[in-house]
Structure 1
Amino acid sequence: MSEAKFSPGTLVSARGRGWIVLAGSTDDTLRVRPISGSEEDQTLLYLPLEPEPVRPDYFPAPDPRQLGGHDAALLLRDALLLSLRRGAGPFRSFGQIAVEPRAYQLVPLLMALKLDPVRLLIADDVGVGKTIEAALILRELLDRGDVDRSVVLCPPHLVAQWVTELEARFNLQAVAVTASSAKRLERGIPPGMSLFQVYAHTVVSLDYIKSQDRRAHFLHHCPNFIIVDEAHTCAGNGQGRHQRYELLRALADEPNRHLVMLTATPHSGDDASFYRLLGLLDRDFERLEDAAGADRDRLRNRLGNHFVQRRRPDISEWQESDLFPRRETKELTYLLTGDWEVFFNSVLDYCAQIVASGEGDAERQRLNFWGTLALLRCAASSPMAAVLALRTRAGEELGPDERTQILDRLFDGDADGLVDDDVEPPVATGDSALAALVTQAERLAGQAGDPKLKVVSDHVADLLRDDFHPVVFCRYIATAHYLARHLAKRLPTAAVEVITGELPPEEREACVARLGDVEGPRVLIATDCLSEGINLQEHLDAVVHYDLSWNPTRHEQREGRVDRFGQSRSVVRATLMYGVNNPVDGAVLEVILRKAERIRKELGVPVPVPDQGHTLTQALLKAVLLRRRGAPANAEGKQLDLFEAEWNSAEEKAKANRTMFAQRRLKPDDVLPEWHKSLAAIGSQEDVRRFTDRALTRLGSGLEPMRRGFKAATASLPEDLRERLESVGLTGTLRIDFRYPAPPPCRPVQRSHPLVTVLAETLLERSLTSAVADTGDPSVLGRVGCWVSAAVRARTTLALVRLRHQLVTRQGRRENTLLVEEATGIAWVGQIGERMSSPEALALLASPPIDDVPPHVREREVTRALTWLADQESQLEQFAAERANALLDDHIRVRAAAFRDEKSDTRERSTRVDAFLRPDVIGVFVLLPKVS
């Protein structure tokens, strides 16, 4: 590509208007955006075909006729700030996103910026914000010009959520590629093209793309940036996981491809799977499993550049102590009595008999044992689950994969798809003794007085009275419906919804959204199909574990659906239910769950249960059932002792890992100053709220405060503005809020929300193109003004300016030039012209006037200021150069933070910032002191 005659940032005149030249231009073709227009208005100018020569242009200076008041000046300032999309700070993406990331969420971004290619495993705690961290990296690399296409690979039930997140919060329009959508998408593309070429950003179901026939096509056309969600499901055993791993292995073998993997459970107790996962970052990391001494230390130090794992205590030093709610936990017990106690004891006796029996071949004995455990779990869940389990028979012939799936479902393993994990497992035996149990279960299923059901009903009612909205997690589908029917009768004023694996992902999302639209009491009954990846913090704030999980990770995943980044409540509640007279609950609690909780509290990091092949859980349950039969459980006791030793060893390893992978080399003091500068430069949440209210009010509408959020009516806005809003799906009366997340049923509004961008761009464009302010059009703001202000002690001339710089980055032989823009202010105080720069200068506009001035004085002062400013070209150029140097210092400081203690990266990296020395003067305002 040849070098353009007009470099990025240059102003040119063509087709009767002014344009800003953008990056990506050549000698013959200019990529341009109107000086006063939006990013969506950019176009290409092919110079040989232009009817008139394209010439250099200059930004039009304010005119004395463009007179306005203080309100217009403040609106003009905010419209300029909020219309910037190519911000000048060290983080290029902040102008394009609709969420304010927290400072600690910048750590993975800083790690990514020092890697080429980016290879990261982000294993932050549940609810910390891994989706935001990964999408920030993608958005930043896109805005830096380092990548142009992307794909998110995730389990099928998370596809719709990723599409929504990317569009709503990162201004990226991605398409979903699943088994149901792929053929439809392919029908609309030209022959010979791949949908991964046609659509720049896609979210792809792992289960759809992993098969051999699709994998080859995907590998050939795959984008150069990949995010893998729930990456731990791609490195284990089993046919489904093996296919996923082979896909990722082939993708990772492309040396220039960027790969960001996300998981809250990188190590689920299986060492081999964990090291395979690390090997996707670099094949050398697989050797960590067997490495020792200096070689292991060297590999671990290298891994620290690619692996970040932080728990909530690690985030407190980032001045984010109040970011997450306080979790109040409670244990709730129930006592099985009457017919329910008789039935459960009958189940326990039957299971103990099967375990104690030594008759039959080993395979039949193993199948019977699994069947008894299936019955035991379902009976403890609900009579309805027991009925379904007892009525279902497993096939006599089971392959290795089917056996693994049964074990995962029985023991709450980390199965690939939690979607199918809530189906009642079959009782894999045809024993005639089960007939009596079937009769008992069927009678209880239609009988009132279930003690477990009564305890949870009372507890949910108490939560609702305390203004909490709970999600109640059940183990099985039948239990979820059984509980929902009862709660709907018990709580007639509450909205009760049920979500299980029966529903496809899009219907689950719709169900959550429907519940969120309810302003009164809300209760969600769900199985573990919602315990991974689905966010509930916008609508719910309490978790009840109706069925005890045998895997502590699942408890944390469940609670992490509401206790996560974005929860508006300061307190969330979590309740663990178990049966007092259920010996299995007692054993699982004491041996597994309480120990896991102790480790998590002491260490701050959950340590997975070392239960490969579920040997621990099997030994534990056999010991319980054999004790019930009065038989010794020597072998099982030895297995439990071995487990204790292995878990203690895993705990010590986790202690050694925590400091390194919490990335404490990146200090808050290195990042927070740049973070606060970025917020000031692009507009904070409060800036967005103030601007939206003032802009709507000026244009004939306004914000109407509600108990939750605001109403914003669009019907009274000017017709052309309504049409622009309708084109982005905003019609009628909007329910909005400026917090993240917005309280239901409000839509969250941030700086890049269409409502804000349309208002800001409309006001700015019309104000800069109108010759006079008094046109009768409320969307035209004055560019000059004069008033008396308490914020000044001497006559002060303030210029609102837009600066343009070329940001040139070089890495090795590759050089990249980007246009960046900055909205700022410069003020001169008194007769000698003492200079004041942003942010102090911009802050002067926030102070309301304390008095007006006569028209003739206003006109005289404005004319005087414009004449004086026309002679200050050298000062404006000096200011532009100073801002360019300050911007360069910011970039260097952030890069230094990212590269601290980095010795392995020897590639040449450099940054240069070149200022366009003639800033765009957007507005000029004279502030007069109060006369005593």
Structure 2
Amino acid sequence: MSTTATTPTPPSSARWSPGSLVRARGREWIVLSGSDAEVLRVRPVAGSEEDQTFIHLALEATPVADASFPKPEPTQKAGHDAALLLRDALVLSLRRGAGPFRSFGQIAIEPRAYQLVPLLMALKLDPVRLLIADDVGVGKTIEAALIARELLDRGDVERFAVLCPPHLVDQWVTELEGRFHLRPVAVTAASAARLERNLPPSESIFTTHSHTVVSLDYIKGERRRAEFLRACPELVIVDEAHTCASTGQGRHQRYELLKGLVSEKARHLVMLTATPHSGDEDAYFRLLGLLHPDFAALSDAAGDEHKKLRDRLAAHFVQRRRPDIAEWKEGNLFPRRETKELTYKLTGTWERFFDAVLDYCASVVAAAGEDTKKQRLNFWGTLALMRCVASSPAAAVQALRTRAGLEEEVAEDDIEARVFDGAADALPDDDVEPPAASEEKALAALITQAEELTGQAGDPKLKILTDHVIELVKEGFNPVVFCRYIATAHYLGQHLASKIKDVAVGVVTGELTSDERKEKVELLGDAERRVLVATDCLSEGVNLQDHFDAVVHYDLSWNPTRHEQREGRVDRFGQKSGVVRATLIYGANNPVDGAVLEVILKKADKIREELGVPVPLPDDGHTLSQALMKAVLLRNREREGKRQQAFAFVEMEEAKAIETRWLDAAEKAKKNRTVFAQRRLKPEDVLPEWKKSLAVLGGKEDVQRFTGRALARLGGALEPVGSSGRRGFKTRSRRSPRTSANVSMSKGS
């Protein structure tokens, strides 16, 4: 068909609406939104979004005119295959502007209808101020990226930035590139100097690069914060937004950054978090106040005023559990999670070593005397050792050898964060074994015992893991084993690789860079059967649902949110398996495991079962964890003969006080979900239009059919490559067998 357009001269009063064809400057253009009576915003018919430009009607030497294409002639007829190819080409060419959304021709996924709810809410707001608090694994990243892509394609924004914790930067870049046809630049402490090199004094990274993904830790400092606010894009997406509302532990800088962002009233802001209420009332209302200052008053409002504010907030806040998603009846979107507990028992030399460690720890704490700081540092040092010993003899050896002594110059905040699992958003550097408190003679004896155990067979904890992993693999599962420390990860990896034949075993720890972790996971994913051993550096930041469908908690975390993060790596949107397994391993006569399990983890599970989602432990100062471990040491010193099997931890004052706060937070979370599940947007209101849009746009089958037919006419063919999780295609020319090229057609494209 000829593509030469005719150019009838329009009347001088003609104006063009978005979607019109015009001829100017010797070529044809499509008129885009953002045009007005004097200036047209246009894109070449044969060009891309990057070729957009503006045409000032009064300044054109040759008047802008309507463009149309001649009707086909009978002499141009072709065969049935050609007609089908032309039909597919015409349908796919409409993707850029068909239907109620402008962006769906630019994305490589087919979003589920429930994921359109935040987008529909955003399009009703000006400016967009939205808090998306859907559950872990529901797809908040997709929901936020849909909003960004739509605002870009409508011309409402030209630039955007994603602010996220450092360990999520690469994941955001990958998602935006692979699924949304965007090319953001990663701005981190490591990359900023390179990006700023050779920039003119008046320019900034954020004016030079339209799309950026920025590390919160890099940008929150006062000098960089001021520069970012000066050159800030029109749209900002904030991931893990709850970490920006707390003013403790250095987080106030993040909050000041967000306060500066919302001070510009026209700026669009989308915040994401699975835990908007993390047990800190003040932080929660500060977070709401970022949407609009009025919402911060909810903490004190009552009666009609409170109801009116909550009704207003509902336009800016969406929070849905998986049961809420099930109401959309879009099939089985999420797997069924099957949980299991396995116990082991310390006996013989293993039990004697653990008793010796507890005795040593109690003596170190007592030796601190009246020196408050020394008491605190010695206590944290003993907790570090207790955790390492409970993890593995290899981790115990490393901690005992590292014994830095926790001298006066050691930073207390660093020790505390490492002992108590750190913050939920500070994962990658959190898996190094902490140093133990130092007493030379006692330590030398413990090191000898730990080294002997490392080389011995019969580790009861390792045996129960090995048997369980073998069972999982036989049943067709590909498990991820999460542990706390680097030494433990290598200890497990070496043992499993020697015991489980014909199965690929990989180990990923914080020793590897982010890119190296991803590469190792992808290589392991190519194996037919696989087991991954990882520290918590992978509990956030790398999605594992493509290659794995089971999680084993080899080491208990003292933060129940971390358990949910681990399981959420595989139990999430996009998981192909209908069932995922989650297994908890703990020592039946290990008092450290017993205290954490009884008071923290089982209570967290009970709240999650009742509410449908996890509620964070309201213990920012680690008062409960410290009280529990002090009780362990006290009971150990008082024991007669064999260690007591059960302690009345639940009767402790600290446990009772925190349980009350925890249940209160859970009740508030439950009430919030009844208001903010957005049930006013019914499935029957969204699904029909969504199905019509899919029919017009075509799905991944249509794209694959068109690509295959087009390549066939050019003498090529598509050959599938890759695993089921990351399916792609390779082209091979029939005319020249040695010529090949790769075609990216990722899942959902």
Mark yes or no: TM-score above 0.5: yes
Given candidates 112, 126, 144, the residue that maps to 1:134 is 144
Determine the structure 2 residue equivalent to 1:101. Answer: 111
Q: Does residue 411 in structure 1 map to residue 420 in structure 2?
A: yes
Q: Does 1:465 align with 2:474?
A: yes
**Are the aligned partners of 1:472 and 1:526 in contact in 2 as well (CA < 8 Å)?**
yes
1:622 to 623, 630, 643: 630
Aligned position for 2:6: none
Measured after TM superposition, the shift of residue 36 of structure 1 is: 5.8
Counterpart of 2:672 in structure 1: which amino acid?
A: N
- Counterpart of 1:493? 502
2:572 is aligned to 564
1:445 matched to 2:454? yes
Choose from 524, 531, 534 the match for 2:542: 534
C-alpha contact (below 8 Å) 2:721/2:729 kept by paired residues: no
- Return the offset for 1:519: 3.1
- Contact 2:431–2:510, Cα closer than 8 Å, also in 1: yes
Q: Of 34, 54, 68, which aligns to 1:58?
A: 68
CA shift, 1:380, in A, is 0.4
CA spacing shift, 1:583–1:300, aligned 2, 3 Å: same
- Which of 388, 391, 404 lines up with 1:393 in the alignment? 404
Structure 1's 635 and 43: CA in aligned 2 closer, same or farther, altered over 3 A? closer
**Structure 1 counterpart of 2:443:** 434
CA contact (8 A) 2:289 2:295 kept: yes
Q: What's the offset of the Cα at 1:473? A: 0.7
Q: Distance in 2 between matches of 1:585 and 1:543?
A: 19
8 Å contact 1:699–1:717 — kept in the other structure?
no
Tell me if the contact between 2:109 and 2:747 (Cα under 8 Å) persists in the aligned partners. Answer: no
Per the alignment, do residues 73 and 615 of structure 1 end up closer, same or farther by CA in structure 2, a change over 3 Å counting?
same
Letter in 1 for 2:449: Q
**Shift in Å, 1:27:** 7.4
Q: Call closer, same or farther: CA 1:4–1:548 in 2, change over 3 Å.
A: farther
Is the CA contact (8 Å cut-off) linking 1:3 and 1:27 kept in structure 2? no
Please tell me the residue identity of whatever aligns with 2:595: A
Greater RCO between the two (CA within 8 Å, min separation 6)?
1
Deviations 1:704-733 (CA, angstroms, capped at 9, x unpaired): 4679567744341789xx9xxxxxxxx835
Query: Residue deviations 1:114-141, cap 9 Å, x none?
Result: 2222112211111110100101111111
Aligned letter for 2:112?
A: R
Once residues 331 and 239 of structure 1 are traced to their aligned partners in structure 2, the CA distance between those partners, rounded to angstroms, is 35
Displacement of 1:644 in angstroms is 2.8
- Conserved in 2, the CA contact under 8 Å of 1:626 and 1:633? no
Mean CA deviation greater in 76-85 or 24-33: 24-33
Contact preservation (8 Å) 2:177, 2:184:
yes
In the other structure, the counterpart of 2:747 is 748
Residues of 2 paired with 1:323 and 1:494: CA distance?
Answer: 29
The yes-or-no answer on 1:686 pairing with 2:701 is yes
- SS for the counterpart of 2:212 is strand
CA apart distance, 1:187: 2.1
Structure 1 residues 26, 358: closer, same or farther in 2, change over 3 A? closer
User: How much does 1:492 deviate?
Assistant: 4.9
Residues 9-61 of structure 1: per-residue CA shift (max 9 Å, x gap): 44334566544344455778755445466556656667788776544332211
Q: Using structure 2 for the length normalisation, give the TM-score.
A: 0.90
Which residues of structure 2 form unaligned runs of 5+? Answer: 1-11, 640-646
Contact 2:479 2:548 in 1 (8 A): yes
Task: Report what 2:616 is aligned to.
Answer: 608
Q: Once structures 1 and 2 are overlaid, which stretch shifts more, 140-149 or 450-459? A: 450-459
- Do the aligned partners of 1:124 and 1:264 also contact (CA within 8 Å) in 2? yes
Matched, 1:480 2:479: no
Does residue 1:508 correspond to 2:507, yes or no? Answer: no
How many angstroms does 1:70 deviate by?
2.8
Write the letter of the residue equivalent to 2:656. D
Q: Give the equivalent residue in structure 1 for 2:463.
A: 454
Structure 2 match to 1:701:
716
Q: CA deviation at 1:182?
A: 1.5
Q: How far off is 1:514 after superposition?
A: 2.5
The Cα offsets for residues 463-488 of structure 1, whole Å up to 9 and x where unpaired, read as 22223222111111111122122222
* CA distance 1:222–1:4, change in 2 (3 Å): farther
C-alpha separation in 2, matches of 1:377 and 1:22? 61
Aligned partner of 1:660 in structure 2 is 675
In structure 2, relative to structure 1, the CA distance for the partners of 1:454 and 1:3 (3 Å cut) is farther
SS of residue matched to 2:68: coil
Task: Work out the CA distance in 1 between the residues paired with 2:648 and 2:367.
Answer: 13
Cα shift readout 1:612-668 (whole Å, capped 9, x = no counterpart):
311122222223332333389899722222233333322322222220122222211
- The corresponding residue for 1:599 is 607
1:714 aligns with 2:713: no
Instruction: Quote the residue 1:576 is aligned against.
Output: 584
Alignment-derived partner of residue 370 in structure 1: 380
1:188 & 1:143 partners in 2: Cα distance? Answer: 31
Distance 1:718 1:256, change over 3 A: farther
Equivalent residues of 1:87, 1:682 under 8 A apart: no
User: Is structure 2 residue 660 aligned with structure 1 residue 645?
Assistant: yes
- Secondary structure of the equivalent of 1:84? helix
Deviation of residue 312 (structure 1)? 0.8
Q: Distance in 2 between matches of 1:153 and 1:477?
A: 29
CA apart distance, 1:209? 1.1
Q: 1:494 to 1:381 in 2, by over 3 A?
A: same
Task: Evaluate the alpha carbon distance shift between residue 51 and residue 269 of structure 1 in structure 2; reply closer, same or farther with a 3 A threshold.
Answer: closer
TM-score of the superposition, structure 1-length normalised? 0.73
List runs of 5+ in structure 1 lacking aligned partners.
723-730, 738-746, 751-932
Find the residue that maps to 1:714 and give its secondary structure. Answer: strand
Contact 2:481 2:532 in 1 (8 A): yes
Q: Residues 273 and 36 of structure 1: is their aligned pair in 2 closer, same or farther, counting only changes over 3 Å?
A: closer
Distance 1:457 1:358, change over 3 A: same
**Matched residue type, 1:626:** L
C-alpha separation in 1, matches of 2:192 and 2:102:
33
Aligned residue pair count: 727
* Secondary structure in 2 matching 1:562: coil
- Pick closer, same or farther for the CA change 1:577–1:81 going to 2, 3 Å: same
Q: 1:502 to 1:284 in 2, by over 3 A?
A: farther
**C-alpha separation between the residues in 1 aligned to 2:317 and 2:13?**
39
Distance 2:138 2:649 in 1: 43
Cα separation, 2, equivalents of 1:370 and 1:495: 38
| 1:67 paired residue number | 77
Alignment partner, residue 677 of structure 1: 692
C-alpha separation in 1, matches of 2:743 and 2:65: 47
SS of match in other structure, 2:571 = coil
1:330 equivalent to 2:340? Answer: yes
User: CA separation of 1:482/1:192 partners in 2, compared to 1, >3 Å: closer, same or farther?
Assistant: same
Query: Quick one: which amino acid aligns to residue 697 of structure 2?
Result: I
Contact 1:84 1:682 in 2 (8 A): yes
**Bigger CA drift: 327-336 or 685-694?**
685-694
Q: 1:15, 1:52 within 8 Å by CA — same for their partners in 2?
A: yes
Q: Name the residue aligned to 1:231.
A: 241
The CA distance in 2 between the partners of 1:459 and 1:696, in whole Å, is 48
Q: CA deviation at 1:325?
A: 1.1
CA distance in 1, matches of 2:45, 2:459: 71
2:621 counterpart SS class: helix
CA offset at residue 355 of structure 1?
5.7
2:420 partner letter: F
2 CA distance for matches of 1:505 and 1:16?
49
1:98 to partner: Cα distance: 0.9
8 Å Cα contact 1:605/1:654 also seen in 2: no
Residue 217 of structure 1, CA deviation? 0.9
